Structure 1
Amino acid sequence: MDIEHFSIFFITTFLLVLVPGPSALTAAAQGASLQSSKAFIGVLGIASADLIFFGLSATGISALIVASSTLFSVIKWLGVAFLIYLGLSVLLSKASAIQFENKKIDARTGKLFRQGLVIQLANPKALMYFSALLPQFINPNEPLLMQLAVMALTLFLADCLVYSLYGYLGFHMARQKLKAWLIRLINRAAGLTLLFTGIKMAMLENHGS
């Protein structure tokens, strides 16, 4: 993967993870109730769930590459369309303030990890997102495993960074609200980035050409 493709992948992944959702609220709630170091266990659960979704998507995409370059190209263009649709959806979504509740949470390590894991696994949008995103950045003419390893590591680090940030916010903003304007700003940035990614991928020269 060249530096241009990697940069787009990193920024897009980071901003999409940043969009507030159930996993962000879980990380914030754990952070509001626990020390940041303890809440990080829940963050690892969320990141592990995303790696599972990533693995499922990568397995399917890899099979397409082996089976048919034409079919892979079709999926790639469907992915471009989905990224544009997803970008518009996030961009136009309405945002309201998020309350961080400082309530008691079971602090057992296994419980925290499972909570993060289950919350994220219950969000099938992540699977759809990875299935749409991966074909845009995979070069069928280069070693596949290394490309997937780089993207998986990037995703894991983005998850850990962003959800740790939500845990930190929860710890320091318990009983306060994350303002609606800030949530709108995050959504706008992520939506515009997804639109940019879809359009940019449609304009870039196909790897297989």
Structure 2
Amino acid sequence: MSLQTFLIFLPACLALNMVLGPNNVLSMMIGAEQGLKPAAIAYLGRFFAFSILILITALGLGTLLAASAQVFLLIKFIGAAYLLWIGYQLLRSKSETLDHTSQTPPQDFKTLIIKDFNIAIANPKAILIFTAFFPQFIQLDHYWADFFTLGVSFLCLEFFAVLCYAILGAKLITVLKRENLGLINKASGVLMIVFGFALAFVKKPSA
């Protein structure tokens, strides 16, 4: 891959990373509730999920999965159901449990990592991005080197997006004040439900 090609890839990839999706909403919510460090650690879940999907795509299985209507539907509905469940949990959560005076402890790092992993791995749109987007920048005679470069770049830019959304969440809560943190939870819950329904109606691209 030439330097020129890579420089075209970076801003295009960053635009994909910065799109407001369920994982980025989660990062914003964690940033508001617990701060930048927990959001950054939760990224490990997304890192492992996307690394798996990138590897699957590199091995050529991504095209097979993208072409399989049954597998696509299965992953799609699992992902949609998970987002709807998270949205429901957020909507029914009580605002007082988010206050510093509450006896309810913040979510531990393991829980945050698992949640970020589950959201990322159960989204079939991610593997479609890797299958349709990455090959445009890959030279066949440098296939593995190019795929590795693009994959690492994607994961680094994804971490940048995590930090941006976590900082945004932290800034929002300074404006809304800590006692209004429940508003972010409720808004995040609504967004998760919207994403869940949107994912449920995503159609598999025709071959």
Q: CA deviation at 1:114?
A: 0.6
Aligned residue pair count: 141
Quote the Cα distance in structure 1 between the aligned partners of 2:43 and 2:61. 27
Specify every segment of 5 or more residues in structure 1 that has no aligned partner in the other structure, as ranges. Answer: 65-74, 76-101, 178-209
5 Å matches for 1:21-36? Answer: 21-36=21-36
Quote the Cα distance in structure 2 between the aligned partners of 1:106 and 1:133. 37
Quote the Cα distance in structure 2 between the aligned partners of 1:8 and 1:133. 12
Judge conservation of contact 2:57–2:63 (CA < 8 Å) in 1.
no
Q: CA deviation at 1:63?
A: 9.6
Quote the Cα distance in structure 2 between the aligned partners of 1:157 and 1:13. 10
Judge conservation of contact 1:61–1:134 (CA < 8 Å) in 2.
no
CA RMSD of aligned residues (A): 2.7
Q: CA deviation at 1:120?
A: 1.2
Specify every segment of 5 or more residues in structure 2 that has no aligned partner in the other structure, as ranges. Answer: 68-94, 99-104, 177-182, 185-207
Quote the Cα distance in structure 1 between the aligned partners of 2:62 and 2:43. 28
TM-score, structure 2 length as denominator?
0.61
Which residue is equivalent to 1:157?
156
Quote the Cα distance in structure 1 between the aligned partners of 2:149 and 2:10. 10
Q: Secondary structure in 1 aligned to 2:60?
A: helix
Q: 1:8 to 1:57 in 2, by over 3 A?
A: same
Paired amino acid for 1:150: T
Which residue is equivalent to 1:7?
7
Q: CA deviation at 1:116?
A: 0.8
Quote the Cα distance in structure 2 between the aligned partners of 1:170 and 1:63. 36
Q: Secondary structure in 2 aligned to 1:149?
A: helix
Quote the Cα distance in structure 2 between the aligned partners of 1:42 and 1:62. 25
Judge conservation of contact 1:61–1:131 (CA < 8 Å) in 2.
no
Quote the Cα distance in structure 2 between the aligned partners of 1:52 and 1:22. 18
Percent identical residues: 25
Q: CA deviation at 1:27?
A: 0.4
Which residue is equivalent to 2:82?
none
Paired amino acid for 1:36: L
Q: CA deviation at 1:52?
A: 1.7
Structure 1 ranges of 4+ moved more than 3 A: 61-64, 102-106
5 Å matches for 1:106-125? Answer: 106-125=106-125
Quote the Cα distance in structure 1 between the aligned partners of 2:61 and 2:14. 22
Q: Which has the higher helix share?
A: 2
Q: CA deviation at 1:47?
A: 2.7
TM-score, structure 1 length as denominator?
0.60
Q: 1:101-142 deviations in whole A, cap 9, x for unaligned?
A: x87474311111111111111211010011001221111123
